[in-house]
Chain A
């Protein structure tokens, strides 16, 4: 189905830190403006909430913090990848490390992309572009 008007992305942001969620959300909204898209953001404070939200809403992209108490981001990504209906869902790991080793850990758990905090606008746009490609989200 072809949607007229801007592409609408449904994004789940997972981070136990409120300010971090706010900053990722801002970055995402900026990205949407620059690329002429619209984003609907759902936030989750931990892995449990994220796993609960995922089947509820039509999510096209997950941006998750790596280090979270109880259920870490890596544990969350492993869970997402094990669920057949979510196995192709684009997931970007967001972490404070900017080294290749940490990115490799996230990719090994099943992340499609990796963002080291703090990130600049160019990196954010590039990683989202790589992960989402030019693919429009599926219409619900």
Chain B
């Protein structure tokens, strides 16, 4: 059924989560517009338009026609605003606020259980009186390449024309990107373009090689902004100035660069100062991509340092001048320390206080509490704890779900609380604290709690647990299984059993995990653990038979082709001679009980792995390469040896099992029979 009979249907929980997120975004958007005043940032106006447009779409699809109608009216006003048909006057901005307020009210009424809330006075009528149209302005010809001109949308055309009227230069930035990394390259170029001016649109470029991805960005640059410099920052193949800005020098100046695909007066903009980074009270805002590039460089520098250390050691071993040797060793030791501190320092640039996230949670908490008729406080501790910017953005949805769950299923109604001898006002406490390289977020409510026996009984009743299965050691883990819901009545806020499994999945995708404990009658605690940073791990990828494995680069001492001549038998077991060490040796396929591969002839590569305390040698079928991988932990329910900690996708689509070097080395040292080779 495409349109549910009852509005919301099975989707009301998702609808509310989405609607709140969109209204939150729109709320931030209108705040920013007010700060911009009469000359708003067009990308912000467009983002605001898009939020309301999406809200209309999702409301329409789940059947809340009243919400969709109101969103439609506000969307029409925002469309006029972004197309320049109404000015960004205080009256218009006020009308937008009024519209957003009305939408929030409607969404809150849905949250409170109303089936089909609708405004008594249509929003359209309320907005109309507030808005006076702008002076009509004609569009001018843009002198774009014909194929581009033909594919411009109305909005893109309007923005390009507006940029021309404001004396901005129109520039085409051509990107020719490798398929494997095109999204990083495109995102970087898009954010550079937005930072330098206005990114009007993204178009297909012409790829010389069909295996590459070519894009063409249409960008409006303010006078004095250097198009060639933007091209460099975007790693562009080509930059074409379609029309020069009004303040640019006369066309007699030397051509900017590269063939102009367009008969344009390609007056190059003055190579003026680059757009200055926004500076406020000692804070410099830097695009995340630049930080990522720095982190990458720091990683490469650390590798170069290791290589230098090895060759320096060899070179110095033969040196006779003891003074020079000592000086070189001292200088290297200093370099070593500096490089070792650079990596973490670069990573720290990605960190933001978790407060950005908790503020958003607190607002959503207050709204949800009032929609559900709960009286409750949200108390946060540890807001200064730092977390990766990307994680702070991505964690919003799953954490909102946990909060909503606490309000909906945990905290009782004020009356129920009074009669249970509890204070009328409930309380949800969030404690955020770093723990090693992870951040722990603990949500504790003082609500009715969850009964472990009830959870198990419910799981048996719904078939999640078979009649003969033993009781699980952690019954609360069942709450995260798909299809589980303990709500006695199906609730409109948390949906119909759709939820905690999604929360767990989302957290797992971010490298995190969640667990629950509860005392019936006194409350429930959700503990969410996420990594402090989302970092790619440089990994050596090896293969045995058809199975791929990834070993952290920092745990790889060396890889050698052809093991045969290094193998010797010490105390009755196979060892690999590495310098003056005899290292225990094992075949990776034998360790994991994989079928022995055909070519076990002593010519396979050997990987020497170390964990800082000891080392061991591994025989594999092939070394596939070294990549930076995002290792995701495997779900607890996946049975596996403890040496396998996660999985990562290797460029090209293969999945590699991530090995825990410490556990693996310990296993080889403990020398189980199957780990030996003859």
Chain A residues at the B interface, C-beta cutoff of 8 Å: 16-20, 22-23, 26-27, 30, 48, 51-52, 55-56, 65, 67-71, 74-75, 78-79, 81-85, 95-96, 105, 108-109, 117-121, 124
| CB–CB B60/A67 < 8 A | no
Number of chain B residues whose Cβ lies closer than 8 Å to a Cβ of chain A:
39
Number of A-B pairs, beta carbon distance below 8 Å? 95
Given the known A-B contacts A48-B183, A51-B213, are A23 and B153 also in contact in the complex, defined by CB atoms under 8 Å?
no
Closest 7 CB pairs of A and B: A82-B204, A96-B57, A19-B14, A48-B183, A118-B60, A27-B2, A75-B202
How far apart are A27's CB and chain B's nearest CB, in angstroms? 5
Given the known A-B contacts A19-B61, A26-B2, A109-B153, are A81 and B204 also in contact in the complex, defined by CB atoms under 8 Å?
yes
Among A18, A23, A48, chain B packs the most CB atoms within 10 A around the CB of: A23
Q: Which of B56-87 contact A (CB under 8 A)?
A: 56-58, 60-63, 68
Contact of B11 among A23, A55, A108 (CB under 8 A): A23
| CB–CB A117/B153 < 8 A | no
Contact of A105 among B54, B154, B203, B214 (CB under 8 A): B154
Task: Report the separation of the CA atoms of residues A30 and B1 in the bound assembly, to the nearest whole angstrom.
Answer: 7
| CB–CB A48/B210 < 8 A | no
Q: Which of B34-61 contact A (CB under 8 A)?
A: 47, 50, 53-54, 56-58, 60-61
Counting CB contacts under 8 A, is B117 at the interface? no
Counting CB contacts under 8 A, is B257 at the interface? no
| CB–CB A48/B186 < 8 A | yes
Counting CB contacts under 8 A, is B190 at the interface? yes
Chain B hits for A83, CB < 8 A: 204, 210
| CB–CB B54/A124 < 8 A | no
How far apart are B79's CB and chain A's nearest CB, in angstroms? 10
Contact of A120 among B2, B47, B151 (CB under 8 A): B2
Counting CB contacts under 8 A, is B605 at the interface? no
Contact of B50 among A20, A67, A81 (CB under 8 A): A67
Contact of B60 among A48, A96, A105, A109 (CB under 8 A): A96
Chain A hits for B203, CB < 8 A: 75, 78
Counting CB contacts under 8 A, is B15 at the interface? yes
| CB–CB A124/B60 < 8 A | no
How far apart are A129's CB and chain B's nearest CB, in angstroms? 15
Task: Report the separation of the CA atoms of residues A84 and B206 in the bound assembly, to the nearest whole angstrom.
Answer: 11
| CB–CB B61/A23 < 8 A | yes
| CB–CB B179/A67 < 8 A | no
Chain A hits for B557, CB < 8 A: none
Chain B hits for A75, CB < 8 A: 201-203
Residue of B nearest to A28 (CB): B2
Task: Report the separation of the CA atoms of residues A124 and B402 in the bound assembly, to the nearest whole angstrom.
Answer: 35
**Sample (16) of A-B pairs whose CB atoms are under 8 Å apart:** A26-B2, A30-B1, A51-B183, A52-B182, A69-B47, A71-B202, A78-B151, A78-B204, A83-B210, A95-B57, A96-B53, A96-B57, A105-B153, A108-B151, A118-B60, A121-B2
| CB–CB A19/B2 < 8 A | no
| CB–CB B58/A67 < 8 A | no
How far apart are A24's CB and chain B's nearest CB, in angstroms? 9
Task: Report the separation of the CA atoms of residues A126 and B460 in the bound assembly, to the nearest whole angstrom.
Answer: 43
Among A56, A68, A118, chain B packs the most CB atoms within 10 A around the CB of: A118
Having A51-B183, A67-B50, one finds 10 other A-B pairs with CB under 8 Å, namely A18-B18, A22-B11, A30-B2, A70-B190, A78-B203, A78-B204, A83-B204, A118-B60, A118-B63, A121-B1
Given the known A-B contacts A78-B151, A83-B210, A109-B153, are A119 and B57 also in contact in the complex, defined by CB atoms under 8 Å?
no
How far apart are B76's CB and chain A's nearest CB, in angstroms? 11
| CB–CB B210/A85 < 8 A | yes
| CB–CB B151/A124 < 8 A | no
How far apart are A17's CB and chain B's nearest CB, in angstroms? 5
How far apart are A76's CB and chain B's nearest CB, in angstroms? 9
Counting CB contacts under 8 A, is B360 at the interface? no
Q: Which of B225-256 contact A (CB under 8 A)?
A: none
How far apart are A96's CB and chain B's nearest CB, in angstroms? 4
| CB–CB B54/A17 < 8 A | yes
Task: Report the separation of the CA atoms of residues A67 and B82 in the bound assembly, to the nearest whole angstrom.
Answer: 14
Task: Report the separation of the CA atoms of residues A119 and B47 in the bound assembly, to the nearest whole angstrom.
Answer: 25
Contact with A along B152-192 (1 / 0, CB 8 A): 01100000000000000000000000010011001100100
Contact of B183 among A18, A52, A69 (CB under 8 A): A52
How far apart are A105's CB and chain B's nearest CB, in angstroms? 6
Chain B hits for A71, CB < 8 A: 186, 202
Chain B hits for A55, CB < 8 A: 179
How far apart are A33's CB and chain B's nearest CB, in angstroms? 11
Counting CB contacts under 8 A, is B132 at the interface? no
Task: Report the separation of the CA atoms of residues A51 and B54 in the bound assembly, to the nearest whole angstrom.
Answer: 21
How far apart are A12's CB and chain B's nearest CB, in angstroms? 16
Residue of B nearest to A47 (CB): B202
| CB–CB A79/B204 < 8 A | yes
Contact of A16 among B54, B151, B179 (CB under 8 A): B54
Counting CB contacts under 8 A, is B596 at the interface? no
Contact with A along B630-670 (1 / 0, CB 8 A): 00000000000000000000000100000000000000000
How far apart are B510's CB and chain A's nearest CB, in angstroms? 14
| CB–CB B204/A74 < 8 A | no
Given the known A-B contacts A81-B204, A83-B210, are A17 and B3 also in contact in the complex, defined by CB atoms under 8 Å?
no
Residue of B nearest to A49 (CB): B183
Chain A hits for B151, CB < 8 A: 78, 108-109
Residue of B nearest to A94 (CB): B57
| CB–CB A96/B56 < 8 A | yes
Task: Report the separation of the CA atoms of residues A76 and B204 in the bound assembly, to the nearest whole angstrom.
Answer: 9
Task: Report the separation of the CA atoms of residues A22 and B495 in the bound assembly, to the nearest whole angstrom.
Answer: 14
Chain A hits for B62, CB < 8 A: 19, 23
Task: Report the separation of the CA atoms of residues A26 and B210 in the bound assembly, to the nearest whole angstrom.
Answer: 34
How far apart are B187's CB and chain A's nearest CB, in angstroms? 7
Chain A hits for B183, CB < 8 A: 48, 51-52
Residue of A nearest to B19 (CB): A19
Chain A hits for B15, CB < 8 A: 19
Q: Which of B576-613 contact A (CB under 8 A)?
A: none
Q: Which of B486-519 contact A (CB under 8 A)?
A: none
How far apart are A88's CB and chain B's nearest CB, in angstroms? 15
Chain A hits for B50, CB < 8 A: 67-69
How far apart are B47's CB and chain A's nearest CB, in angstroms? 7
Contact with A along B381-417 (1 / 0, CB 8 A): 0000000000000000000000000000000000000
How far apart are B107's CB and chain A's nearest CB, in angstroms? 14
Among B58, B61, B62, chain A packs the most CB atoms within 10 A around the CB of: B61
| CB–CB B210/A84 < 8 A | yes
Among B2, B151, B202, chain A packs the most CB atoms within 10 A around the CB of: B2
How far apart are A133's CB and chain B's nearest CB, in angstroms? 22
Contact of B2 among A23, A81, A84, A95 (CB under 8 A): A23
How far apart are B173's CB and chain A's nearest CB, in angstroms? 15
How far apart are B251's CB and chain A's nearest CB, in angstroms? 31
Chain A hits for B14, CB < 8 A: 18-19, 22
Contact of A56 among B57, B206, B653 (CB under 8 A): B653
Residue of B nearest to A71 (CB): B202
Chain A hits for B190, CB < 8 A: 70
| CB–CB A20/B58 < 8 A | yes
| CB–CB A74/B18 < 8 A | no
Residue of B nearest to A80 (CB): B204
Residue of A nearest to B156 (CB): A74
Residue of B nearest to A55 (CB): B179
Chain A hits for B53, CB < 8 A: 67, 96
Task: Report the separation of the CA atoms of residues A78 and B214 in the bound assembly, to the nearest whole angstrom.
Answer: 12
